[in-house]
A and B are shown apart, each in its own frame.
Chain A
Amino acid sequence: MGLFLKDINLKGKTALVTGATKGLGRGAAIALAQVGANIIAVGRNISELKSLGKIIKKLNVKYTSFNCDVNDYKTIKNNITKLKKLDILINNAGTNIPEPFLKVKDSSLETLLNVNTKAVFNIAQLCANQIIKLNKKGGSIINISSIFGLVAGQDRTVYSMTKFGVEGLTKGMALDLAKYNIRVNSVCPNIVLTPRTKKYFANKKYNKYVKESTPLDKIATVSDVATSIAFLASEASSMITGTSIIIDGGWTAK
């Protein structure tokens, strides 16, 4: 820490990251490890968890992984309540099934609500309880939201419903957890190029739409989002709670 500039430093902190094997979750895990955090990765793919572990361990921090589905409440609960250290949650696991409103399948609605809303809530609650139990100094919870938590997008009705929900949850949690000095914020990226969004970008029309919607005329990188997550996780943002960092190149400013 300088006189006025605070460091983004997570040495000695432990962060749990869901959806850690791919895209933003993987980026967040690596970025947090780069600034010193020990990482607990949650993901569904054993070999990807292992390869992430190799990268993280090279950064001289501890690495643990849970191979489980965020929808599997029993297993998740069992794992989280056994943790000996926990300061930070990156509540990242999420998905999307773009469909026009009139054609949204019941099964798609079910999947998105389960992953993006119910699992996000459950994991946040379990981790908050565990942080309170283990750590009197507080902590930081970051929910991965989206610009579609702030505005609508074509074929994104269910996704918007779930992400607007995450924005509401973030503010509500921030109020309830402030007395424990647990800060709760979200990050709202525009469309980041990840394994999940790769297929969208394959469509020329979609590419054009994203380009035209983003004043800065570029898509966010995983590194852009992971850096904001690290900032929110650290004491550099110790007065920031109940809000969102919008990483959208001006998409929602219009």
Chain B
Amino acid sequence: MFKKINLKGKTALVTGAGKGLGKACAIALAEAGAKVITISRTKSDLAKVDKIIKKTKGSSKSFVCDVTDLDSFKILLKKINNLDILVNNAGTNRPEHFTKVKRGNMEYLTNLNMKAVFNIAQLCAQKMVKAKNRIKIGGSIIHMSSQLGKVGCEGRNVYNMNKFGVEGLARGMACELAKYNIRVNTVCPTFVETPMVKAFFKNKKFKNKMLKNIPLGRIATESDVATAVAFLAADSSAMITGTSLVVDGGWTAQ
């Protein structure tokens, strides 16, 4: 009856795998048995992740690549034989008040959080549908979204725009890729203990204000999010597509 989270025999690609959530996802997927392909701009970060995966007796291969550099990503994909799972994670944030958002920042965020997310998803999906047994073995694409893909928040208007967009993309992709048995979902975490959030939380006033919005009274751990990603990657969630797993301690329930 119960379907264990088991990714043995699967190959998973994780973008933004050098730090934070991407790193946690890569390690969690390896722990669930997947062969993991880690992508990041920073070689030394990738080396650390590979080392951890090796220690836990997992399998990984890393590629240094900027996800906004499509040509490099295409070349990289050619070097991979098979792909079953994509964790489309690379993304960032530059909080600014709406009236003060610099055009350069809007461009930068949108290029990374939307354009690259779309392009990477499309290229990976094209690769995934080529597998002759795809319908039988299925596939899973998980976009790293956010609770801010569901609700607004001060100083996050560009990020809101990007992540709401990712929520829309996931639903559209789910409808189109269903016939290949490729499922597409998002994970929507609240603030997570990552290097990015640690920087925001140096502002104590902001931290306390944000914590007040989380009924469970704590921020998420990387492990909370990575486990949700592994659940969506595995056949444990074989009927789940076009939806979001909200890991927010109740933030958006209010």
Contacts and interface: CB of A to CB of B under 8 A. Distances in A.
Contacts of A231: 231, 236
Contact of A227 (B3, B221, B247, B253): B3
B254 A216 contact: no
A249 B175 CA distance: 9
A5 B28 contact: yes
Contact of B31 (A3, A227, A242, A249): A3
Interface residues of A, number: 53
Contact of A4 (B5, B220, B223, B250): B223
Nearest to B147: A243
A8 to B, nearest CB: 7
Interface in B170-228: 170-171, 174-175, 178-179, 181, 183, 189-190, 215-218, 220-228
B216 A241 contact: yes
A236 interface: yes
A45 interface: no
Given A175-B250, A240-B228, A242-B253, A215 B239 contact: no
A218 interface: yes
Nearest to A32: B2
Given A226-B1, A227-B2, A4 B222 contact: yes
A27 B1 contact: yes
A242 B217 contact: no
A253 B1 contact: no
B237 interface: yes
A220 B239 CA distance: 6
A253 B174 contact: yes
Nearest to B249: A239
B228 A237 contact: yes
Query: Size range of the interface on B?
Result: 35 or more
A250 to B, nearest CB: 4
Nearest to B251: A242
Given A227-B3, A227-B236, A240-B247, A175 B254 contact: yes
Interface in B44-75: 52, 56
A112 interface: no
Given A4-B28, A216-B178, A31 B241 contact: no
Contacts of B178: 215-217, 249-250
Contacts of B237: 224, 227-228, 247
Interface of A: 1-6, 8, 27, 30-31, 34-35, 170-171, 174-175, 178-179, 181, 183, 189-190, 215-218, 220-224, 226-228, 230-231, 236-243, 245-250, 252-254
16 contacts: A2-B31, A3-B52, A4-B31, A5-B5, A27-B1, A178-B249, A179-B217, A215-B241, A215-B242, A224-B238, A237-B228, A239-B220, A240-B247, A248-B240, A253-B242, A253-B243
Nearest 3 Cβ contacts at the A-B interface: A253-B242, A242-B253, A215-B178
